[in-house]
Structure 1
Amino acid sequence: MNTLATSRHLHKSKTHSVSSISSQSEAEQLRVLTETKNFLSDRDTLVKVIDQSDQLIERLHQFAQLHWSLVHPQLLNQQLTTINVDSKPPSSTAHSNALNILCLDNLSIPHRRTSGGLPGSFKEIDSSLLTNHQSLASSMLCSRLQFVQSHLADLRTRVLDRNSRILVTGDLNAGKSTFVNALLAREVAPTDQQPCTEVMCEILDKSQIKSPLEQIHAIPHGSVYDIENPTTYETFPIDKLPELVNVGSEDSEDSGDEENSSSPYQLLKVYISGPEHRKARSQEELNATNAISLLRQGDVSVSFIDSPGLNRDTLSTMELFSKQSTIDVVVFVVSAENQFTLSAQEFLWAASQEKAYVFVVVNKWGGIRDKVKAERRIREQLRKLSPATWQERSELVHFVDSQDAITCAQSKATSNDLEVSTEIEPFDHLQRSLSSFVFLRRSISKLQPAQTYTRNLLQDLQLITATNLDAAKNFYDEAQSKLEKILPRFNQLSANSHLVDETIGHIEENTVSLVYKNSRKILAGALKNIREGKPAQPMSTDLNSSVSYFPVYDGLLSIFQYAEEVRKVLISSLEESVKLAECVTRKSTSDAVEAIQQNSVTKNLLDEDYLNGSSAERKFNPHAMFSKGRKFALTNPTHRGSPGHCASTLGIATVADLVDFDRLNWFKSSSSSKSIEKYLNSSSGATTGLVGSLGLGTLTLFGTGVSGGRAFVDVLVKLSELAGKKGFRKWAGTAVAVMSVGFGIYLIMDIPRAIPRNIGKKLERELNEMISASSRSELTRRGTSRSTEEASEDREGREVRWMDYELDRLSKETRKVVRLTGFEQREKFRACFEKISGQTSQYQVDLEHAKDVQAWLIQFDNDLSNSLLTCNSVGFKNLELRDSHPIATPLSSPF
C-alpha cells in the first residue's frame, strides 16, 4: 500500500516536473522567437538608416562640390574666438561640441586622434593653414565624407551578415595569441616569449569549407579572397601556421632589415574544428572542462582575428585601425604590467566612436602583486577612454591570466580538484560573458555598433549643417550690409550718369565756340590791317618778336627792296597774329580742361574710395598744343622774319603794285559825265572855270575799274563826247599837261602807301587761293571713290579761305584736347560705375546664393533629424548586459 502510494506520488512528481520543463522550454522558445523578430526589425531599420546616411552624405558632398564651400566647426570656432577677442561674446550658434566621425585629423589613419587632447584637436595639421584656406578644409572634409561612405558600405555588409567577427588586439606582448588559445581550449595560435605574430590570423569554423581536414588559406597581398576560387589564396596544413605567421620576421632577420619586415600574405584564414567536433575529446572531457564552442552555435558562426601588436610598427597599426569597419566585437587585451599605452588609448578612443562596448581583458593578472593598485589605475584610464564599457565593467572588463587558464584547464581535465576550479573561474566567467554577448545579445554586439556609428555620424552632420547655416547667415548678413552701403552710391551714379556727358559736352561746345570767336576776331582784325597796308599786329618792342619794325621808304631807287621788306613784315605780322590766336586758344583750352577736371558734378560722383587702382590723372601741358609744325606756316621757324616755304612766293611786288588804283576811284563814272556836261553847257562859265572843270573831268578818266576793259571803253566814249565840245578843244592840251604832271607827282608821293596796301591785298588773295587749291586737291584725293561729277561739284562749291582754314585748325585742336580730357573723365566715371555696378550685382548674387544655401541646409537638417529619429527608434529593450541568461544553444534562426 505504501509502495503504491509512493509510486503514485513519484509519478505525479515526474509528471509535474515534465510539465514544468515543457512550459519552460516553450517560454524560452517564445523568448528566442521574440528576440529574433525584434532583431530582424531592428536590423532592417538600421540598414534603412545606413542607406539614408549614405544618401545624405552623397547629397552633402555634391552640394559642397557645386554650390558651397563647407565650413568645418573647428575652423568656425577658431574664427569666432579670434574675432570676439575684443568684441561681443559669440552667439549661441558658436558650436563647441566636438565631432566624433568627421573630425579633421590625420586622415592617413582613419579615426585617429591626438591622445589625451581635446576631441576635435588637430594632429599633424596646421590649424592656421586651414583657417586661412577654407577651401582646403572643405576639400579635406569632402575626402572625409568619401571615406565615411566606404565605411558605411562595410557597415551595411556587416549588419546583413549573420556571422560575427571578433578582433583580438592589444599592445605588443600582451598575450593575445595565448588568450585566443585559452578561448578555443587548444593550441592554435603560435606563442612565444617574444612577439611572433607578424600577420593577422582569422580563425574560423571548419564547417565553412568542404575539406574534412583543418587547413590554412593564405591570402597574398593584392588578392581578393574568394573561398570558391582557389587561385585567390594558397592552401597550407594547420601545422604550418607557426611558420606562416613568422615568415616576415625570419626574412627580416636574414636580411638584417627589421623595420621593413613584412609578410607576403595580408591575411591567414585558419579553419579549425570546434571542441564539440574534435575526436580527441570525449563528452565527459568537454563537460569536465566546461568547454564552450565560440566558433559556432546553431546557424551563427564566429571568427577570431589574432592581430599583431598595436605598437609593432606603423603599417600594422594602420591596418588594425582600418579593420574596424568589418569587425563586430573588439576584445582588447592589455598587459597588467604595462596597462594602457599611448597606442592602446588611441585605439580604444577610436573604437568607442562606433562600438560603445569593448571587451577589455587585463591579461597576466596572476603576476601582479599589488592587484588593488593596478586595478584602480586601469579602471581610471578606462573610465575616460570608454565610458559605456566602464558602466558595464562587471560583464566587459575581466582580470585574467590566459596562460594559467590553459594550465588549469589541462589539470582539471585529469582531476576534479576544487582549487583548480576556483582558479579558472574568472576565465570561465569571461568565456560565458563573451559567448552571451556574441550569440544571445546579438542586437547589442552586432547592431548597436552600427547604431552608435550612424548616430554619431548623423549628429556630426547636424553639427556641420548648423555650422554652415551660421556661416551662410553670416555670409548673408555681410552681403546685405555691403549692399545697403553701396546701393545708394549705385543709385546716385545710375541716376546722374547723363549729367557727366551733358556737363562735359557743354564745356566742350562752349570752349570751341569761344575759341572760334576770339580767334576770328584776332585773324579778321589782322587781315583788315594787312589790306590797309598795316602790320597785322601793333609794333612790338620785344627783341624776340619777328615783327619789331616797319621798313622805311628810301626813294625810287630802292622801291623794289622796300616792297620786299614790306612783304616780309606783313607775312611775319600775320604769323604773329596766328600765334596770338594760338596763345588765346591755349588759355581757353587750359581753362576748359581745369573746368572739366574740377567740375563739381563729376568730382562728387567720382569718389576716390571707389577709384582705387584706376589710372592716374594726366596733367595738361598747354605748350604741347600746336607744337607740331603747321602745313601752311608763314615764317621759317629756324630763321626769324624770313617767310616759310609755303609763303616764299606770296605777295611778291610787281610794277602794277606801285599804284593803288582803288585810291583813284573818286567818283562814280555816270555822275562824273553828267557833271562835266553841266559845266561845259553853262553860259555863265568863265574861262578859268572851264579849265578847272576840264581838269576835274579828266581825273575822272581814272575812275573805278580803269584798268579793266569795260572801264576803258567807257572812258573812250566819254572822251569822244567831250571832243565835240568847243571848249574842250581849246584847253585840251593844257589840261592834259597839268593833269599828267599832277597825276605823276601824286603817284610818286603815293608809292609808300600804295605798295603796302597792294602787297597786303595781294597777300590775302594769294593765301586764299593757296588754301583753296590745297583743299580742292585734298577733296580730289579723298573723292576717288565717288563719281567725277560729285567731286567736281564739291570743288566748285567749296572755296576755303585762309582765315577759315586757321579757325578750323584752332577749333579742331581745342576740341581734340577738351574731348580727350572729357574722355578721361567719362572713362573714370565708366570704371567707377562698372565697379560699383559689379559689386552691387555680386552682392545681390551673394544674397540670393546665401538664401538658397540656407534653404538647402534647412531641408537637409530636417532630413537629418528624421533619419536620426529613425536611428534612435532602435531601443534594444530588455537586452541589458546584466540580465544574463544561461548559455543555451539558440534555435535555428535566420540570424
Structure 2
Amino acid sequence: MASQHAHRVATTVDAAATRIASDLHSDSGYGGSIIDGEQPAVILGNVNNGPQSEESRRQWASHVHQMAYNQNRVALGRSINRTVETLKGFQKMNSKWPAHYPAVQRPESTPLQRTQSTVQDSQGDFNPQPLRRAATTAEDHTKPAVSQPEEPRLVTPKIAEDFNVLKLDLKLGSLSPSELVHSLEKSSVASLLDGKISQSIKHLLSLRDRIEDTSSKVLITGDLNAGKSTFCNALLRKKVLPEDQQPCTSIFCEVLDARENSNIEEFHAIPLDGPAYNRNDETTYDAYPLEKLEEIVVENDRYHQVKVYVEDVRSIDQSLLRNGVVDIALIDAPGLNMDSIKTTAVFARQEEIDVVVFVVSAENHFTLSAKEFIWNAANEKAYIFIVVNRFDNIRDKARCRRMIMEQVAHLSPQTHADAHELVHFVSSNAVIEGTDAVKIKEFEELEQSLRSFVLDKRARSKLAPAKTYLMNLLGDLETLADVNKNTISAEIDRLKEAYNKIAPAFEKAVKARTQVSDEVERTIEETVNNVCKFTRRTVSEVISRIDESPSVAYEGILSAFAYAEATKNAMLSTIQNSVTKSEEHARKKTTQGVSSISALGLMHLGDEYVEKTFRADFMFSRKRHQLNRDIQINIDAFDFFDFDRQEKIAGAGTALTVASVAVPQIVGIQSWFDGVWKATNLIGVRNTRKLIIPAIALAAAAGAYFVISDIPNAVPRKLAKKIRQQLAEIDYVHVNADRIGKETRKVLKFPAEDLRSGFQRSIEKQGQTVEETKKTMKESEVAIKYFGNLLREAKAQRGAVGTLDLEGHSCSE
C-alpha cells in the first residue's frame, strides 16, 4: 500500500514537472549564491529513479513552494503599489482637508506598560486574541478573556490601540504622547500625520525593494554585552568579530560571503559622510585585513559601517552564508543601550532587514530597551528569532526558561506560539571552543532552525514582514477613514443645522437693510423738511410784521436820527432772533432724528452697533448768521417822512380834517363851504381875499405838525420797507432755511452712515459665514465621499492582503 501511494505521488509530481518547470523562468532568490562550477541544491531528475524518488519529490515540492512564494511576492508587490497610491491620495487630501485624529479622553497606557500586563486565561495558559496587529504585539493578547462593554467609536483608548504605523507619539514634560498630540492645533496634527504618511510611503517602497531582492539581511541585535558578536562568530564557526566583556561593536558590521568579494577575506570600512558604498569603486571604502577589524570596530570615529567578507568552508547544507540558495548578510549591530544615537540607529536599521535575531542574556533577560525594540519591530515582523545566550551560566535553568518564555509571550505572541523553532537557549562560547558536544548540538539545532526560517520558510522571514506592515498600515487607514467618515457626517449635520439658521437670518438682514435704509432716509427728509418749513414760516412772519410793534422809544425830533438807528438795529435783531429760534428748533429735531436712527441700529444690530455721542450744541457753530454784516441800511432824511402815494392822500385828508375842525369852531360854522359862503356874505369878497393866505398858512402849519408828529410811525415803516427789500434781494428766508436744512441733513448723515456701515459689516459677516458654511458643506461632502471610498478601498486591500497564505506551502509540511 505504501509503495502504491508513493508511486501515485511520484506519477502526479512527474506529470506536473513540465508545467512547473515552464513557470520557473527565474530562481526568484533561490540559487543566488550558486557560482560557476557548483552543483545546484536542486537537481531536476527522474522522480521514478529508485532511491532518488523521495529526494526528487522533496525537490519538486520545494519548487511548488517557490512558485507559491513568487505568487505571494508578486501579489504583495502589487498591494504595496496600490497602498502607496492610496497613501499619496490620502496625503493630498490631508493637505486640503486636515484629517481628524481621535481625541484623548483618558490616559493611555504605554506599550511597555501593556507588555507587562497578564496574558493568561483562566487555566493559566496563553490565550490568543483575534488577529489585529497581525498578532505581532503583546497589546493584542494582554487583555483578559472576559467580555468588555464596547466603547463609543470615537473614544480614543480603543482607537489609539488600533493605531500602529500611523500612531502619532510625542514626548514633552508630564503630558502623555497622545495627550500632547491632541493638545496641538488641527493643522499641526495634520502636519504630523503627513510626516507619518511620508515615512510610510518611504518604508513601503523599501519593503517593495526588499521583497524583490533575492538576498536576505539578518540583523543580529540585542542589549549591550549580550553576546551578539560571540553568537555571530559561532554561526561562522570562527572568531571574526571582536569579543570582550566590555562593549565591542560600536558600528554596524555586515558579514558577507567572501565569494561576493572575489573570494578575498577582508573588510571594507565605509567612511562617515562619504559616498554610497560600491564594492567595485575603491574610493567609496577603505580595505583592511580581518586582523585589523577589532582595532577599527572597538574604537572608531571615522567609519559608520564595515562590510566583512568571510569564507565559510562548510557544506552548503550546514553554512548559513554559503547556503546554495540565497545571498545572506549577517549584520552585527551595536548594543541597544550603548548610547541614544546608536540605539536610534539600530531602531532605524531594523526596518531594512528581513530577519531579526535578538540576542538576550540569560542572566539579564529583556531590558526596557529590548522590550521597546521588539515592540517597534512588531509593527511588521510577526516572528522574531530569539537567542538566549550564556544559558550555561544559569543554575536554575528551568526557572530561567519559564521566565524568559513568559516575557516572550508578552512581547511577541507569534514568536511564543512557534517557540520550538524561534526561541533557543544556547551557549555560543562552547560552539567556538568545541568543548561540549551537548551544547554544540543545541547550537546546531538553533542553526538549522535559523536556516529553515531564513531559507525554507522565506514566506515568514521575507514576505511576512511586508504583509504584517501592510495589514497594520491598511488597518490604520481603515480606522482613520472610519473615524473621519463618522466625524464628517456629524459635521455635515451640524453645518446643515447651522445653515438652516443663518441663511434665513442673512436674507432677513438683507431685507432689513433696505427697509431700515428707506426708514432712515424718510426720517432725514422729514426732519429736514420740518426745520426748513419752520424756518421759512418763522422768519417770514417776523419779517412781514417787523414794523408793527417797534420796541424803541421816540424821544422827540431832536433824537430822530438816533431813534431811526435804534429802530433799524432792533428790527435786525428781531430778524436774527427768528433765525436763532429756527436753529434751536433744528437742533431739537436733529436730536430726535439721531435718536430715531440710533434706535433702529440698536434694534437691528444690537451689540454690533456702536452708538456715537451726539452734541447738538456743536451745530451752526461755524456758520453763524451775521445779519448786520449781510444787511446794509443807510438812514437818510426821507426815512423820516412817508411820501408814499397812499400815505400822502391819507396825510392831506388829515390836514384838511384838522382845518375843517379848527376854523369852524373859531368862527362857528360847520364846513369849509358853508364857512366860506357865510364869511363872504358877512365880510364881503374883498375881505375874504385877505383871509385866504392866513388860512393856507394855518393849513400848512397844521400839515407840518402832522408830518413831524408822524416820524415815530414813518421811520419803522420806511426802514421795514428797506429791510424787506434787501432781504428779498438776497433771498434771505430761503438761504437761511436751506442753510439750516443742509446742516441738519449733514448731521443726520453721520449716524445714518454709521448705521449703513454697521448693516454692511453685519451682512458681509453673515454672508461670509453663509458662504463659508456652504463651502465647508461642499468640501465636507467631497471629504465624506473620499473617506467612504478610502474606507472601502482600505478594507478591500486589507482583505486581499489577508488572504495571502504565507504558511500554506512550507517545505516542512
2:553 paired with 1:559: no
Q: What secondary structure sits across from 2:264 in the alignment? A: coil
**C-alpha distance in structure 1 between counterparts of 2:460 and 2:759, whole Å:** 73
Q: Which has the larger displacement, 479-488 or 136-145? A: 479-488
- Is 1:385 aligned to residue 411 of structure 2? yes
Q: What corresponds to 2:808 in structure 1?
A: 878
Alignment of 1:493-572 (within 5 A): 493-530=509-546, 532-534=547-549, 550-572=551-573
How far the C-alpha of 1:856 sits from its partner, in A, is 1.4
Q: Would you say 1:220 and 2:249 are equivalent positions?
A: no
1:629-670 CA-to-partner distances (Å, cap 9, x unmatched) read 42x513xxxxxxxxx4445xx22321010012337446699x
- For residue 174 of structure 1, report the CA deviation from its aligned partner: 0.5
| CA apart distance, 1:520 | 1.4
**Correspondence 1:351-750 to 2 at 5 A:** 351-407=377-433, 410-411=434-435, 420-530=436-546, 532-534=547-549, 550-599=551-600, 603-608=602-607, 611=608, 616-630=610-624, 632-634=625-627, 644-647=628-631, 650-662=632-644, 664-665=646-647, 689-690=672-673, 733=693, 736-750=696-710
In the alignment, residue 635 of structure 2 is paired with which amino acid?
Answer: A
Farther-moved stretch of structure 1 (325-334 vs 231-240): 231-240
Among 190, 198, 215, the alignment partner of 1:163 is 215
Which residue of structure 1 aligns with residue 87 of structure 2? 57
Unpaired runs of 5+ residues, structure 2, are 1-46, 109-149, 654-668, 678-687
Alignment RMSD (CA, Å): 3.0
Which of residues 200, 203, 209 is equivalent to 2:252? 200
Looking at structure 1, the residues matched to 103 and 740 of structure 2 have their Cα atoms a distance apart, in angstroms, of 71
Q: 2:725 aligns with which of 757, 760, 765?
A: 765
TM-score normalised by L of structure 1 = 0.73
SS in 1 for 2:357: strand
| 1:691/1:731 contact within 8 Å kept | no
C-alpha distance in 1, partners of 2:558/2:648? 29
How far, CA to CA, are the matches of 2:48 and 2:735 in structure 1?
Answer: 138
Q: Tell me the distance in 1 between the aligned counterparts of 2:276 and 2:741.
A: 90
Q: Contact (CA 8 Å) 2:358, 2:387: kept in 1 or not?
A: yes
> What pairs with 1:127-276 in structure 2 (closer than 5 Å)?
127-128=179-180, 130-210=182-262, 212-222=263-273, 223-248=275-300, 263-276=301-314
Note the alpha carbon deviations across 1:201-260, whole angstroms, 9 max, x for none.
1111111122x4211111112221112222111111122211121232xxxxxxxxxxxx
Q: Is the 8 A contact 1:533 1:759 kept in 2?
A: no
Q: Distance in 2 between matches of 1:473 and 1:804?
A: 69
Residue 854 of structure 1 aligns with an amino acid whose one-letter code is I
Q: Are residues 399 and 653 of structure 1, via their aligned partners in 2, closer, same or farther at CA, if it must alter by over 3 Å?
A: same
What is the match of residue 781 of structure 1? none
Matched residue SS, 1:169:
strand
What is the CA distance between 1:737 and its match in structure 2? 3.3
**Deviation at 1:556?**
1.1
Q: 1:483 to 1:633 in 2, by over 3 A?
A: same
Among 28, 31, 36, the residue aligned to 2:66: 36
Match of 1:321 among 320, 333, 347: 347
- CA shift at 1:434, angstroms? 0.4
Deviations, residues 426-450 of structure 1 (Å, cap 9, x unaligned) = 2111111001111111111101111
Change in CA separation of 1:879 and 1:106 when aligned onto 2, cut-off 3 Å: farther
CA distance in 2, matches of 1:187, 1:748: 154
Structure 1 pair 169–687 and aligned structure 2 pair: CA distance change class (3 A): closer
Change beyond 3 A, Cα 1:521–1:841 = same
Deviation at 1:740, TM superposition (A): 2.2
- What residue number does 1:837 align with? 767
The alpha carbon displacement at 1:20 in A equals: 4.4
Could you state the TM-score of these two structures normalised by the residue count of structure 2? 0.81
Per-residue deviation, residues 654-698 of structure 1 (Å, max 9, x unmatched): 1010012337446699x9xxxxxxxxxxxxxx995559999xxxx
In structure 1, stretches of 5+ residues that fail to align are 1-16, 80-88, 108-113, 115-120, 249-262, 278-285, 412-419, 536-549, 635-643, 672-685, 695-727, 773-800, 886-895
Counterpart AA for 1:171: D
2:805 corresponds to 1:805:
no
Mapped to 2, the partners of 1:465 and 1:482 lie a distance apart of 25
Distance change in 2, residues 1:23/1:347 (3 Å): same
Give 1:817's aligned residue: 747
**CA distance in structure 2 between the aligned counterparts of 1:877 and 1:122, rounded to whole angstroms:** 45
Could you tell me how far 1:25 is from its partner in structure 2? 2.4
Q: 2 CA distance for matches of 1:472 and 1:131? A: 20
Measured in 1, the distance between the counterparts of 2:73 and 2:260 equals: 24
Counterpart pick for 1:26 among 56, 59, 63: 56
Amino acid at match of 2:312: G
- d(CA) in 2 for partners of 1:730 and 1:596? 87
Q: 1:469 to 1:376 in 2, by over 3 A?
A: same
Q: Aligned equivalents of 2:394 and 2:152: distance in 1? A: 53
Residues 687 and 423 of structure 1, relative CA distance in 2, 3 Å threshold: closer
Checking the alignment, whether the CA contact within 8 Å between 1:218 and 1:269 is kept in structure 2 is yes
Matches of 1:595 and 1:319, distance apart in 2: 77
- Out of 354, 373, 376, the position equivalent to 1:350 is 376
Residue 656 of structure 1 aligns with an amino acid whose one-letter code is F
Question: 581-590 or 817-826: which moved more?
Answer: 817-826
**Structure 2 CA distance for partners of 1:20 and 1:746, relative to 1, 3 Å:** same
- Answer whether contact 2:251 2:297 (CA < 8 A) is retained: yes
In structure 2, how many angstroms separate the alpha carbons of the residues matched to 1:60 and 1:873? Answer: 24
Q: Which amino acid aligns with 1:369?
A: R
SS in 1 for 2:240: coil
Secondary structure at the residue paired with 1:496? helix
Separation in 2, partners of 1:691, 1:227: 166
Report how far residue 331 of structure 1 moved: 0.4
Report the identity percentage: 33
Q: Write the mapping of 1:58-97 to structure 2, written as runs, cut at 5 A.
A: 58-65=88-95, 67-74=96-103, 91-94=152-155, 96-97=158-159
Tell me how far apart the structure 1 counterparts of residues 500 and 536 of structure 2 sit (CA, whole Å): 54
- Partner Cα distance (1:106, 1:587) in 2: 69
CA contact (8 A) 1:130 1:136 kept: no
Q: CA separation in 1, counterparts of 2:179 and 2:743? A: 64
Residues 534 and 570 in structure 1, CA contact (< 8 A), matched pair in contact too: no
Aligned amino acid, residue 534 of structure 1: S
1:892: which partner in 2?
A: none
Whole-angstrom CA distance in 2 between matches of 1:731 and 1:856: 133
**Structure 1 counterpart of 2:803, one-letter code:** S
* Cα separation, partners in 2 of 1:514 and 1:692, compared to 1, 3 Å: farther
